[in-house]
Structure 1
Amino acid sequence: MNTITPTTATPGANAGDRHAASARPTGFVRDTAAVFVRESRPLVRDPFSVMFSLVQPLVFLGLFGPLLVGAAGGDVAGTLQWFVPGILVMVALFGTASTGANLLFEMQTGSHERTLVAPLSRSALLVGRALKEVVPLTIQGTIVVLVAVPFGFSLDVPGLVAGLVVLAVFGIGFGALSYTLALACRNRDWMFWMVHQTLLFPLMILSGMLLPLEDGPAWMQVAAAINPLSYLVGAERALLAGDFGVPAVVGGVIAAVATCALGVFVGVRAMRRAR
């Protein structure tokens, strides 16, 4: 007669089950928060890097600003009211456009591959990294405005907060696009920087953040009309002046949200396909 012996669970099997359960994704929000904390630690350890990245916008403010004041007939306060919002957009543009370089470094050192096998969703890996860029963007933008206040810039605090929120939304999307470019150029980092420089300066010049484009040639005005940064610059100028109800604010918000949605969509697809 055949006998059936009962199977007993071994401690090793239970440990394996617990390990398998712990390896499952923990949820998008929790994963995103974990990635955000991980990516923000270098900023806490080395805050000097955030301060040093302010050199470029402050140089533009200190050297380019006086030229605009002279062209405006010596109206310092009016020039700053026009120019400082453009500098804030410049901070968001340059800061988030270079974030893909960090991912390139991680891929070259092998740390990115170790991150991919962690029990984290691919979407959270991208969104958490992009959210990290909001922290230095907010700090740098606030410092730029505070530096301009003693020279005649009129600060509207609610407008500044709203402007930084719009820039943060834009920065998440543009940072995600930068990560997507880094994933596409993982074996050719020179290609990343070539595309970076080729696109960045035309976007900046054709946004009107440095010089008004109203008197420019027709082709330049057409190019500015399809440049999302030009709408962002217009919204920042209105918000920092306290004008919340003007159409420029609506256009800037739409441009920021559209950039964020496109960047996250494209970036998540690229991250999910990463190996």
Structure 2
Amino acid sequence: MTFLRQSFIVWRRQMRMSLRNPVWVVVGMLQPVLYLVLFAPLLGPIAKSIGYDNAYIFFVPGLLVQLGTFGALFAGFALIGEKREGVVESERVTPANRTALLVGRLGRDVTQLFAQVLILVVLGFAMGLRAPVGGVAIGCALTLLIGTACAAASNALAMGTSREDLMAPIVNTVMMPVLLLSGILLPMSIGSAWLQRISDLMPIRYVVDAVRGAFSGEAGVSTVLTGTGWAVGLCVLALWWGTAAFRKEQA
């Protein structure tokens, strides 16, 4: 059986499980939608002060990265439940490729993220977002790329911790500085100089800037290319970590 076939089988099973209990997909989508409806209208003056005529061109890309990053970081909790129920152990006694066990799950996570991204973009256009179609496509692709990276890292962490009470504090500790220092909600240019210097060390900030650049029609500028490079680099690193974690777990 080929690697792609094995990955597809894992993806199909994971999708069936998700469709039987779609509440987590809805819950993961609820927070960004609330931010879009309740918080974005307050950003009009701030967006204009930094050169954006439309506040949604600034805010929707940030929400996309938030959805791709934070939603994907919780993917590993489902894997912990599967390990506890013996699902992962049953898969490991089969001749299935260990990497396929990870890729199939990542396919499920990316499929769910893609559906959520489409809903958020459509809602953004309904509320006043105006952006070129090509730029939106590039921004969505970057969101899926960083989502893949975070989902792979979450699955690797889940394989290492195997307990929700250990994994939750780690995820929350990572999420808070990323949310506050990556410019997802507010532009870092309005912050103090020392905050901006710390923000420069946040790789996710460059991804956020790249998605915003794509939405504003600046797909060829260095900002977009830099963010794309960071997204690809983080994805490769996370896939390596996730693959190593699944291969390390021997039946």
Structure number with the higher helix fraction is 2
Question: By the TM > 0.5 criterion, same fold?
Answer: yes
Distance, in Å, in 2 between the alignment partners of 1:267 and 1:185 is: 13
Query: Contact (CA 8 Å) 2:47, 2:58: kept in 1 or not?
Result: no
**The residue matched to 2:188 in structure 1 has which SS?**
coil
**Equivalence for 2:11:** 36
Evaluate the alpha carbon distance shift between residue 142 and residue 203 of structure 1 in structure 2; reply closer, same or farther with a 3 A threshold. same
Asked whether 1:182 is paired with 2:137, we answer no
Contact 1:77–1:151 at 8 Å: present in 2 too? Answer: no
Whether 2:213 is the aligned partner of 1:244: answer no
The farther-off stretch of 258-267 and 77-86 is: 77-86
Matched, 1:233 2:178: no
Matches within 5 A, 1:77-88: 78-88=54-64
2:229 is aligned, of 226, 234, 254, to 254
Aligned ranges for residues 86-125 of structure 1 at < 5 Å?
86-125=62-101
Distance 1:105 1:55, change over 3 A: same
Indicate which of 110, 116, 122 corresponds to 1:140.
116
CA RMSD of aligned residues (A): 2.0
TM-score normalised by structure 2 residue count: 0.92
Mapped partners of 1:52, 1:174: distance in 2: 18
Higher mean C-alpha displacement, 253-262 vs 28-37:
28-37
- 1:216-259 alpha-carbon deviations (Å, 9 max, x no partner): 23332222212111111111111122321111110111111111
Where has structure 1 moved over 6 Å in runs of 4 or more?
73-76
Question: What secondary structure, in the 3-state scheme, does the structure 1 residue paired with 2:219 have?
Answer: coil
- The gaps in structure 1 that reach 5 residues or longer are 1-25
What is the one-letter code of the residue matched to 2:216? A
User: Percent same amino acid among aligned pairs?
Assistant: 33
Asked if 1:219 is matched to 2:221, the reply is no
Contact preservation (8 Å) 1:101, 1:182: yes
Q: In 2, are the aligned partners of 1:81 and 1:153 still within 8 Å (CA)?
A: yes
User: 1:71, 1:170 → 2: CA distance?
Assistant: 27
**Contact 2:56 2:129 (C-alpha < 8 Å) held by counterparts:** yes
SS at match of 1:133: helix
8 A Cα contact 1:76 1:151, kept in partner: no
Based on CA coordinates, which of the two structures has the bigger radius of gyration?
1
SS at match of 1:146: helix
User: TM-score normalized by structure 1?
Assistant: 0.84
1:6-52 deviation per Cα after TM superposition (whole angstroms, max 9, x unaligned):
xxxxxxxxxxxxxxxxxxxx232222222222212233444454234
Determine helix, strand or coil for the equivalent of 1:155. Answer: coil
Query: Which residue identity is paired with 2:108?
Result: K
The 5 A counterparts of 1:61-72 are 61-72=36-47
8 Å CA contact 1:130, 1:171 repeated in 2: no
Amino acid at match of 1:118: T
Report the counterpart of residue 205 of structure 1 in structure 2: 180
Residue identity in the other structure for 2:26: M
- Size of the aligned set, in residue pairs, is 249
Deviations 1:157-209 (A, max 9, x none): 222222222222221121110011111111x3211000010111211211101
